[in-house]
Amino acid sequence: MSKTAIITGSGRGIGAAIARRLAKDGFDIVVNELNEEAGQQTAEECRALGVKASVYAADVSDYAQCEELVKKVKEEFGTIDVLVNNAGITRDGLLLRMTEETYDTVIRINQKSVFNMTKLCGGVMLRQKSGSIVNLASVAGLYGNPGQMNYSASKGAVIAMTKTAAKELGSRGIRVNAVAPGFIQTPMTDKLTEEQKNAILEQVAMKRYGQPEEIASVVAFLCSDDSSYVTGQIIEISGGLSM
Ligand code: NAP
C-alpha cells in the first residue's frame, strides 16, 4: 500500500523540493499552502513522478484549519505516514526595533503550527502505530542570530518540541526528528542584501550556499526506513557553518 506524506508550506522553496523528492521515493503527496493556487505547480510536478498528489489550502498556524486539513487528508488518502513541518516565515529586525506584533506573528506561524500539525497527525499515526515527523528548524535556533529574536526563538522551540514529541511518541513506533538548515537559496533568503549574504558565506566551510534539494535528501532519509532507529535528533545541514 502506498504511503502518504504531508508537507506544509510546499508551494515553493525547500518544501517544494521535499515534496518532489518524497514523490520520487514513492510517497503520495499532500501539498499544503496558504491558498490552493500556490501549490498547484508542486502537485503537478509530483504527479509527473507517478504518484497521487493533492493541494490542501490551510493556514497551519490556525488550529481549526489544521483540523479540517487532517480530516480531509484522512478521507482522501486513508493514512498519514509522514508529516514534514516546513511552513515558516522571517520578519527580521533588531530587538529594540521589533514590534510585539512581528514577534507574535513569527512565533505563531513557525512554532504554533508545529504544535497544531504534530498533535493532529500524531493522533492518526498513534492509531497506525507508525509514522515519521520531520521539523524544519534552523541554525538560528541552535546558535542564535542577530536581527532574528523572533525567528531564533521559534526555531529553538521547534528543536525542544522535536525532542519532547520523540520522547512521547517513540514507544508507539513514531519517530520525530528535525533538520537545521544553514543558508539555503530560496525566496526566503533572496530578500537578504549582498552584504548580509557575503557575511554568512565567510562562516561557511564549504564557501557556497545550500540548495533546497540538499535539505530534501536528508529529510527523505529521516522519512525512510533507512533511519528506523533515529529519533529526537537535530541534523545540521549548513555546509559546515559552525563546528
Ligand atoms: P519560503 O521560500 O519562504 O517558503 C515558505 C513556504 O511556507 C511558502 O510556500 C509559504 O507560502 C508557506 N507558508 C508560510 N506561512 C504559512 C502558513 N501559515 N500556512 C501554510 N503555509 C505557509 O521558505 P524556505 O526558505 O523554503 O523555508 C522553508 C523552511 O525552512 C522554513 O521553516 C524556514 O524557516 C526553514 N529554513 C530555511 C532556511 C533558508 O536558508 N532558506 C534556513 C533555515 C531554515 P506563501 O508563499 O503563501 O507565503
- Between the CA atoms of 124, 126, 127 and 131, what dihedral angle is there, to the nearest 10 degrees? 70
Q: For the chain, 243 residues long, give each residue's pLDDT as a single digit of tens.
A: 799 999 999 999 999 999 999 999 999 999 999 999 999 999 999 999 999 999 999 999 999 999 999 999 999 999 999 999 999 999 999 999 999 999 999 999 999 999 999 999 999 999 999 999 999 999 999 999 999 999 999 999 999 999 999 999 999 999 999 999 999 999 888 888 999 889 889 999 999 999 999 999 999 999 999 999 999 999 999 999 977
What spacing in Å lies between the alpha carbon of 211 and ligand 1's midpoint? Answer: 14
Residue from 63, 64, 49 nearest 5 by CA: 49
Distance between CA atoms of residues 130 and 28, nearest Å:
16
Give the whole-angstrom CA distance, residue 164 versus residue 168: 6
Which DSSP symbol is given to 94?
-
29: left (phi over 0), alpha (psi -120 to 50) or beta: beta
Helix (H) or strand (E) holding 150: helix 149-169
Tell the residue number behind the cell numbers 511552513, with chain if given: 87
Contact 174, 125 (CB under 8 A): yes
Which pLDDT belongs to residue 196? 86
* Annotated catalytic residue 151: yes
* Residues 52, 77 contacting (CB under 8 angstroms): yes
The residue type at 232 = G
In contact, 85 and 116? CB cutoff 8 Å = no
The torsion angles phi and psi of 236, rounded to 5 degrees, stand at -80, 135
Cell numbers 542564535 correspond to 144
Task: Report the DSSP beta bridge partners of residue 178.
Answer: 135, 234
What are the C-alpha distances in Å from 48 to residues 18, 26, 192, 212, 215? 15, 12, 33, 19, 21
The protein residue with its alpha carbon nearest to ligand 1, atom 47, reads: 34
Give the mutation target among 18, 20, 35, 89 for probing the ligand 1 site: most ligand atoms within 8 A of CB.
89
**CA–CA dist 62, 64 (Å, integer):** 6
Ligand 1 — pocket residues by CB below 6 A? 8-9, 11-15, 32-34, 38, 59-61, 86-89, 109, 136, 138, 181, 183-184, 186-189
